[in-house]
């Protein structure tokens, strides 16, 4: 598959990196595609795929100017609209994983006329302040062990080579993204310690993204205007985004369906590809079929 790549300059001068592949009649934007664009390139049949690295993520500009970062997820929404206009797209599909599942929903609330279909994979809840009981949440021994290891690792940050520290961090992090420890080794492309943005992700995450996420408390009334079809894919053993959040999205959105993947964690398409990849393709392809009728 032939791809093109480049940068799109935002209104404040920050450049976002993109890759574009395929020539289908509908455009699918994959948020933070530097992590998993290759995993979803199979969707090029019938679609034009645009992998977008969000602000201060992946191969986009490394930003140290705090005013350009402090709005966090809300800035990502504004940036996404700039990207849509850049490509001259009237409507777009959106595929998002983890915290960007909230990003695309905020975008759909603000720009409903420009959203065709949305795929949320392991999205964080519509209200991250909400606490979920077991089995709707998964605070297990593996997660608690991870927090302990990271606390110890942080003590060495100032004396450690940044790239080596990043790799050590990921050696612990990938374990919480899967339910079966044997699958941890399958998460390889997510570790991008060669990039300054990803080596410094935790400071951006804690200082800007988390506060912006915590400021959002969506209700069914907030989401009533999102008429786009939404496919939610979520594992029951997710430690990073509680499964209860997926059930809330499905109940609050007017036109949503939830695929529950039993026994997997934060990366369901990696742990159970046969239960995820086909349904995602079918969901997105249905809009192409509808156009042709």
> Dihedral through CA 208, CA 176, CA 248, CA 127, nearest 10?
-20
Report the distance separating Cα 97 and Cα 33, nearest Å. Answer: 10
Q: What per-residue confidence (pLDDT) applies to 287?
A: 65
Q: What are the CA-CA distances from residue 130 to residues 207, 249, 260 (Å)? A: 21, 13, 20
Q: What per-residue confidence (pLDDT) applies to 1?
A: 61
The 3-class SS string of 247-259 reads HHHHHHCCCEEEE
If one counts the domains in the chain, the total is 1
Instruction: Considering only the C-alpha atoms of the chain, give the largest distance between any 2 of them, rounded to a whole number of Å.
Output: 62
- The CATH number given to whatever domain includes residue 131 is 3.40.50.1820
Which residue segment(s) compose the domain that 235 sits in?
3-292
In eight-state DSSP terms, residue 126 is: S
Q: What does the pLDDT profile of the chain (293 residues) look like in tens digits?
A: 678 999 999 999 999 999 999 988 899 999 999 999 999 999 998 899 999 999 999 999 999 999 999 999 999 999 999 999 999 999 999 999 999 999 999 999 999 999 999 999 999 999 999 999 998 999 999 999 999 999 999 999 999 999 999 999 999 999 999 999 999 999 988 999 999 999 999 999 999 999 999 999 999 999 999 999 999 999 999 999 999 999 999 999 999 999 999 999 999 999 999 999 999 999 998 864 444 33
Of 37, 282, 281, 228, residue with least CA distance to 118? 228
């Amino acid at each position: 598959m032939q791809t093109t790549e480049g940068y799109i300059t935002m209104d404040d001068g920050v450049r976002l990196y993109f890759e574009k592949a395929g020539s289908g009649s509908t455009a699918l934007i994959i948020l933070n595609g530097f992590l998993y664009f290759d995993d979803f390139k199979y969707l090029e049949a019938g679609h034009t795929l645009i992998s977008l690295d969000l602000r201060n993520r992946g191969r986009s500009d490394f930003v140290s100017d705090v005013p350009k970062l402090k709005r966090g997820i809300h800035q990502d929404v504004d940036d996404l609209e700039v990207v849509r206009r850049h490509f001259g797209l009237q409507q777009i599909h959106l595929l998002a994983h983890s915290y960007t599942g909230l990003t695309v929903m905020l975008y759909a609330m603000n720009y409903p006329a420009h959203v065709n279909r949305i795929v949320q994979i392991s999205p964080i809840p519509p209200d991250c302040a909400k606490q979920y009981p077991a089995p709707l949440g998964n605070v297990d021994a593996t997660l608690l062990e991870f927090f302990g290891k990271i606390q110890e690792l942080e003590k060495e940050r100032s004396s450690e080579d940044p790239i080596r520290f990043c790799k050590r961090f990921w050696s612990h992090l990938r374990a919480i993204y899967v339910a079966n420890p044997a699958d941890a080794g399958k998460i390889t492309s997510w570790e991008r310690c060669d990039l300054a943005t990803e080596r410094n992700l935790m400071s951006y995450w804690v200082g800007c993204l988390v506060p912006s996420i915590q400021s959002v408390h969506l209700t069914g009334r907030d989401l009533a205007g999102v008429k786009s079809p939404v496919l939610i894919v979520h594992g029951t053993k997710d430690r990073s985004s509680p499964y209860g959040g997926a059930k809330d999205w499905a109940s609050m959105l007017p036109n949503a369906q939830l695929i529950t993947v039993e026994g997997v964690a934060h990366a369901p398409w990696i742990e159970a590809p046969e239960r995820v990849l086909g349904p995602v393709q079918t969901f997105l392809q249905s809009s192409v079929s509808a156009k042709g009728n």
